[in-house]
Structure 1
Amino acid sequence: MPGISKHAVSHASNPVRTGIPAVWMRAGTSKGLFIHEHDLPWSKDLWAPILLSALGSAEGGKRQLNGVGGATPTTSKVAVIRKSKIPVVDADYTFVQVAPDQAQVDMTGNCGNMASGVGPFALDEELFHVLAPLLNWQMDITVFNTNTQQILVETVHVTPDGRFSEDGDYSIAGVRGTASPIRMNIIKPAGSMTGRLFPSGAKQEMLTVGSAHTPTPFIVRVSLVDAANPFALLSASTMPAAYHGSEPTSPLSLGIIEEIRVAGAVRFGLAEDTATAGRVIGTPKIALLYPCRREVDVGRHIDEADIEVLPFSLGQPHPSLQLTGAVCVGTALSIPGTVAWDIQRQAPGVHHGDSQTRQAMMINPTMSTVKWLLKHPSGLMGVEVTWGCTRTGRHPWRVSLAASGQECSPLTIDNSDQPNLIADHHVRIPHRFPLSHH
């Protein structure tokens, strides 16, 4: 890499360097490293030093200057991929969230945005063979997420020579420009980490939160939903006055959000107490829900979203919306009695889509698909929930969303036999693949 001194590593240590190939890719509204599992140590317990150094988090700080991380939760991620041994599954994928401001990794949940890049990576790395002919030059790629033990089916566009077709005219909120669409289908998303759609047993509840930021404990109205990832979905109107009186990014507001998150983790059954919950940075996640305004101009609905979502990730407001968050919100919107259901019914006017079909779907098992439009900090996101009926009741069978992805650059991570030294893990970008290419 230009500018790296040969004296960065002590000559006394004489480290032995090995190269770990990787791809730096935007996937949805996230960006991160995509790595073959066979290029990492056999045990996941040994991955952290390498990935922390590659992203630039090994020494803490907030800028990740010694790695390729982008100093935000959405640009400090890793997807580790292998050819699957599961019949009809093309690739297995493990998600790793690398904290951008501390030497910590989290593998407890999935990332839908990073998952959208797994299919294209597996296709281009030839983890499976393309069977011709392809209908409209599209194909389905089946992915198994090891974090949540769930199946995803990704529909991607393919070039005539069997590679992922990046170029296209599809755009998503939160990303400038256009690219090829990637259709994401999360199969049977309920109970990703807890085994139940509503782990606490309630569709909504009043959660009491002990706080260092308010004079007394406060109470918020929340639905604890586990679909693709566990999310605490809060009614924003029930947040304490201290939160409403501060900016969302203020230390006070973020402190309150974290207090709710860890209290929710205990109710989810993910931690025995809030202290233990605070040591797990990735899950559960949290989002505030607001009713959407229905502004009408000569009969035309300007804002057709069904609900407004302010999500958080690693203690910061998310710039858009996690795909797994959209799965949770879309699922909750489809279930009478949840916080999301109640809030979307508060908005005056006609909802996006066919409201009569929605109401019929709730009572008629044969009408099993409902579409929702979610508003988030960067724009709008559509989500489609398909329901199935079993002897135990109705369950979300499939949740569909759309993303896009683009390869930023192939990389080689320089590794060594001394993973405790930050200088022993550099990222070398070949001159023919500058990071500024895209």
Structure 2
Amino acid sequence: MIAHLAYATGSPCPTLVLDADTVPETESGLLEHLAAVRRHLDATGNGHVLKIALVRPSRHPMFDLEYRFVQALPGSVDAFDLRGSCGHSILSSAVVAERMGMLPRLSVGARVRVRVLNNGDSVVCEVDAVDRGAAQFTVHFVRTKAIPVTDLLITGEPRTMVAVDGELHEVSLVSSGNAYAFLDARTVGIKDPDALFAGGEELFDTLARIRAAVTDHLGWPPGGAFPKIAALLPVEAGRIAARAISVPSWHPTIALTGAVCLGSAIRIPGTVPWRVAQELGCPDSLEIITSGGRTAVTADVRDIAGTPTLSWASVDRKRVTFQGSIPLEPSASATL
């Protein structure tokens, strides 16, 4: 069995891409198989790879690929979270799928239509550039049916209060691409982007504890990867600074799904991102400033019968590099 690695610039780690037809169909069998894969990764110096993508040619006529994301969790080789998605891993899967013969050769202007099995998302990866071993994309998260932006609110409320050690924190819980908790960094004592990006263990611990409180508030299993959390600050017209927690540390930039979620959230009246955006003149498109670079996102929100409604959100200039293949030992394929 052969696994493949690809890295999307800005991601915390490469994605290990597997042919979904070569792994067990049952969840218990799949997790046992992936634990064996992780043991092999650890043994070959690739234990830092915590993103796994399962792909196959789509069985649905509207899509090219079916994709399932698995977030490997640190601390144990048999710990995984199957609930969320990963935009960087979707792009990595498109690059690998071409090499696996699941897709025609990528070319400028080509569009790879991906069906995300984790959450039902429809994602179109539009090829902007191709060179040896790499490709650059614009990524479109397309709603099969336009949705009122308020339907993206996980609790139905634009803001939610959670308690940490007797202190209340205000967050907005939004799900678009992935589930996120957004908070204004100024509410935890961070006044400017330099302080946000320089924040160390104390800030990380504060955000991690707020995220744990959100998980408990939602009744979601503790110890997983979702919802994610990001702290925000206004910068200037059309620009918001963001810092997010990934698995198991700070995200080097912001997740592609995080950009989509934030770009959508600034269009939901009353949310923390909306209020931050209002300070900047309520931009229709957004540039997200992080310590590792900038990400541009546009959300198509239109007024339909008096209701702001989301049709799609796009992120551009995402580059993916193929990093090679890994033969897996028989022990990693024992459940086949």
TM tier, smaller:
0.7 to 0.9
Kept in 1, the 8 Å contact 2:146–2:310? The answer is: no
- Partner Cα separation in structure 2 for residue 81 and residue 224 of structure 1: 29
- Partner Cα separation in structure 2 for residue 263 and residue 70 of structure 1: 29
Letter in 1 for 2:56: R
Query: In structure 2, what is the equivalent of residue 337 of structure 1?
Result: 270
Letter in 1 for 2:69: F
The structure 2 residue matched to 1:43, chosen from 12, 22, 26, is 26
Report which of the two has the higher share of strand.
2
- Partner Cα separation in structure 2 for residue 69 and residue 146 of structure 1: 26
- Partner Cα separation in structure 2 for residue 249 and residue 53 of structure 1: 34
Q: Please report the RMSD computed on the Cα atoms of aligned residues, expressed in angstroms.
A: 3.2
- Partner Cα separation in structure 2 for residue 230 and residue 85 of structure 1: 27
Query: In structure 1, what is the equivalent of residue 300 of structure 2?
Result: 386
Q: CA deviation at 1:373?
A: 0.6
In structure 1, runs of 5+ residues without a counterpart are 1-19, 59-63, 159-164, 169-178, 212-216, 295-303, 359-369, 421-438
- Partner Cα separation in structure 2 for residue 111 and residue 417 of structure 1: 24
The structure 1 residue matched to 2:17, chosen from 10, 34, 42, is 34
Give the secondary structure class of the aligned counterpart of 2:258. helix
Q: CA deviation at 1:84?
A: 1.0
Query: In structure 1, what is the equivalent of residue 162 of structure 2?
Result: 208
Query: In structure 2, what is the equivalent of residue 100 of structure 1?
Result: 74
Query: In structure 2, what is the equivalent of residue 7 of structure 1?
Result: none
Query: In structure 2, what is the equivalent of residue 144 of structure 1?
Result: 115
Query: In structure 2, what is the equivalent of residue 196 of structure 1?
Result: 151
Kept in 1, the 8 Å contact 2:33–2:333? The answer is: no
Letter in 2 for 1:260: I
- Partner Cα separation in structure 1 for residue 47 and residue 131 of structure 2: 22
| Correspondences of 1:68-217 after superposition (within 5 Å) | 68-69=45-46, 71=48, 75-103=49-77, 104-129=79-104, 137-156=108-127, 165-167=130-132, 179-188=134-143, 196-205=151-160, 207-211=161-165, 217=166
The structure 1 residue matched to 2:3, chosen from 22, 42, 63, is 22
- Partner Cα separation in structure 1 for residue 178 and residue 144 of structure 2: 8
- Partner Cα separation in structure 2 for residue 49 and residue 141 of structure 1: 30
Is the radius of gyration larger for structure 1 or structure 2?
1
- Change in Cα spacing, 1:228 to 1:100, as seen in structure 2 (3 Å) is same
- Partner Cα separation in structure 2 for residue 114 and residue 93 of structure 1: 9
Q: Does 1:232 align with 2:232?
A: no
Query: In structure 1, what is the equivalent of residue 324 of structure 2?
Result: 409
* Paired positions, count: 324
Q: CA deviation at 1:65?
A: 4.1
The structure 1 residue matched to 2:170, chosen from 188, 205, 221, is 221
Letter in 2 for 1:117: S
**TM-score, normalised relative to structure 2:** 0.85
**TM-score, normalised relative to structure 1:** 0.66
Query: In structure 2, what is the equivalent of residue 377 of structure 1?
Result: 291
Query: In structure 2, what is the equivalent of residue 261 of structure 1?
Result: 211
Kept in 2, the 8 Å contact 1:220–1:235? The answer is: no
Identity of aligned residues (%): 22
- Partner Cα separation in structure 2 for residue 287 and residue 327 of structure 1: 13
Kept in 2, the 8 Å contact 1:189–1:396? The answer is: no
- Change in Cα spacing, 1:414 to 1:189, as seen in structure 2 (3 Å) is farther
Give the secondary structure class of the aligned counterpart of 2:245. strand
Cα displacement string for residues 245-282 of structure 1 (whole angstroms, at most 9, x for unaligned residues): xx8442x5444323211322344x4x2xxxx5313x21
Cα displacement string for residues 31-62 of structure 1 (whole angstroms, at most 9, x for unaligned residues): 12111011112323222233334334x8xxxx
The answer to which structure, 1 or 2, has the higher relative contact order (CA under 8 A, 6+ apart) is: 2
